[in-house]
Amino acid sequence: MNGLGLHQRLERNAGLLIFGILFVSAIGGLVQVLPSIFQESLSQPAANTRPYGALELVGRDIYIREGCGTCHSQQVRPLLAEVKRYGPYSRAGESVYDRPFLWGSKRTGPDLHRIGGRYTDTWHRVHLLDPRSVVNNSIMPAYPWLAERAANADGDIQLRLKVLRRLGHPYTDADIESAPAKLEGLTEIDAVIAYLQQLGAGLGAEQ
Ligand code: HEC
């Protein structure tokens, strides 16, 4: 090995080479991971971001179950065209209570991260039951069964809240206690609408 440069020595020793590769790629990993640990804005809730209420949480689970996220993203990118079309771009702190997050990237339909408050509850109800009745030529499927199934059909809302509390969502005993009552008499479509109407509400005051 005498007379060989460091580089040649590295190339001829598989163990050393593997260690070298791992070491160099670990630097890349650290550069990505460390800021997300130390930068508060990425891990702390944005100013108005709060955990989902019982009805909104059920709505969110239905949104996932029905695959709404396969056509709709929930992520406004910090680009002029996006901000002009959808509203303020999405902040990391707005997603701290999203498990899993629903950012997505596939947009068969429009982004929904700022949809809250843009339409009335009635518009959403009519649109979900029959999209073509409000938007000519819409290719969105109709979801008539949402109006037929009770919001608490699974009867496990308290369990869902307890699991999220264990993961760090600040639900109180009273929140969990009163959850079934909040779903009483409502259907899945009410839950989805409640979920849609609060999207974007977590935008901090400073934004
Ligand atoms: C096959 C793709 C597809 C799926 C699945 C889908 N959508 Fe859509 N959605 C669209 C398209 C396309 C539009 C635009 C036309 C329209 O408004 O109907 C749209 C529009 C919307 C709008 C109005 C957006 C706006 O800015 O005007 C809402 C709200 C919405 N969808 C919610 C949902 C929900 C909730 C679900 C699941 C229950 C869902 N979508 C499932 C394709 C889809």
47 lines ligand 1 (CB under 6 A): no
The residue whose CB lies within 8 Å of the most ligand 1 atoms, and thus the one to mutate among 61, 68, 72, 128, is 72
Q: Which residues of the chain have pLDDT under 50?
A: 205-207
138 lines ligand 1 (CB under 6 A): yes
195 lines ligand 1 (CB under 6 A): no
The alpha carbon of 37 and the centre of ligand 1 are apart by a number of angstroms equal to 35
Judge whether 95 and 125 are in contact, CB under 8 Å: no
Judge whether 160 and 51 are in contact, CB under 8 Å: no
pLDDT, one tens digit per residue, over 112-129 is 999 999 999 999 999 999
pLDDT at 205: 45
Q: Which two tokens stand for residue 86?
A: 């959808």
The alpha carbon of 60 and the centre of ligand 1 are apart by a number of angstroms equal to 15
| Total Cβ atoms within 10 A of residue 55 | 22
pLDDT at 2: 59
Q: From atom 15 of ligand 1, which residue's Cα is the shortest distance away? A: 138
The phi-psi region of residue 199 (left if phi > 0; otherwise alpha if psi is between -120 and 50; otherwise beta) is beta
Query: Measured in Å, how far apart are the chain's first and last C-alpha atoms?
Result: 61
The alpha carbon of 205 and the centre of ligand 1 are apart by a number of angstroms equal to 28
The alpha carbon of 188 and the centre of ligand 1 are apart by a number of angstroms equal to 16
pLDDT at 193: 98
129 lines ligand 1 (CB under 6 A): no
Q: From atom 43 of ligand 1, which residue's Cα is the shortest distance away? A: 140
Angle (CA) 194-58-170 rounded to 5° is 95
Judge whether 189 and 197 are in contact, CB under 8 Å: no
CA torsion, ordered 130, 108, 199, 51, to nearest 10 deg: 110
